[in-house]
Amino acid sequence: MKKRVLGIAALLLLFVLLGLSALLNVVLVVSAPFRVASTPDAARGFREYTLYPGSESSKIVHIDIEGLITNVGGGFLGSSTRNVKPMLEAAEADPLVKAIVLRINSPGGEITASDVLYHAVQRVAAVKPVVVYMDSVGASGGYYIACGGTHLMANETTLTGSIGVIIQTLNYEELMGKVGLDSVVFTSGEFKDMLSPSREMRPEEQAYVQGMVDEMYDRFVGIVAEAREIPVSELKNGVADGRVLTGAKALEHRLIDATGYIEEAYAKARELGGVSNARIVRYGPHLSWGNLMGFLGKTSADAEEVKRIRLEVGEGLFPKLQPGAVYLLPAHFAF
Mean pLDDT of 174-181: 82
Look at residues 152, 97, 143 and name the one whose alpha carbon lies nearest to residue 117.
143
Look at residues 80, 61, 57, 77 and name the one whose alpha carbon lies nearest to residue 69.
80
Angle at 140 between CA 282 and CA 258, to 5 degrees: 60
- Known active-site residue 196: no
Residue 263 and residue 63 in contact, taking contact as beta carbons nearer than 8 Å: no
Q: Give tens-digit pLDDT for 205-221.
A: 889 889 999 999 999 99
Residue 1's Cα: distance from chain center in Å?
68
Q: What is the pLDDT of residue 311?
A: 38
Q: Give tens-digit pLDDT for 105-155.
A: 999 988 999 999 999 999 999 999 999 999 999 999 999 999 999 999 999
From 79, 114, 140, 196, the catalytic residue: 140
Q: Give tens-digit pLDDT for 213-263.
A: 999 999 999 999 999 999 999 999 999 999 999 999 999 999 999 999 999
Give the CATH superfamily of 39-166+231-333.
2-enoyl-CoA Hydratase; Chain A, domain 1 (3.90.226.10)
Look at residues 270, 293, 291, 290 and name the one whose alpha carbon lies nearest to residue 280.
270
Within 8 A by CB and 6+ apart from 320, the residues are 312, 335
From 21, 183, 192, 298, the catalytic residue: 192
- Known active-site residue 192: yes
Within 8 A by CB and 6+ apart from 43, the residues are 36, 90, 91, 93, 94, 283
pLDDT over 90 percentage in the chain: 49
Q: What 8-state DSSP symbol labels residue 162?
A: -
Query: Edge-to-edge, what's the strand order for the sheet holding 166-167?
Result: 109-110, 326-328, 166-167
* Mean predicted lDDT score pLDDT of the chain: 80
Q: What is the pLDDT of residue 71?
A: 83
Cα separation, 174 vs 167, in Å, equals 22
Q: What is the pLDDT of residue 150?
A: 97
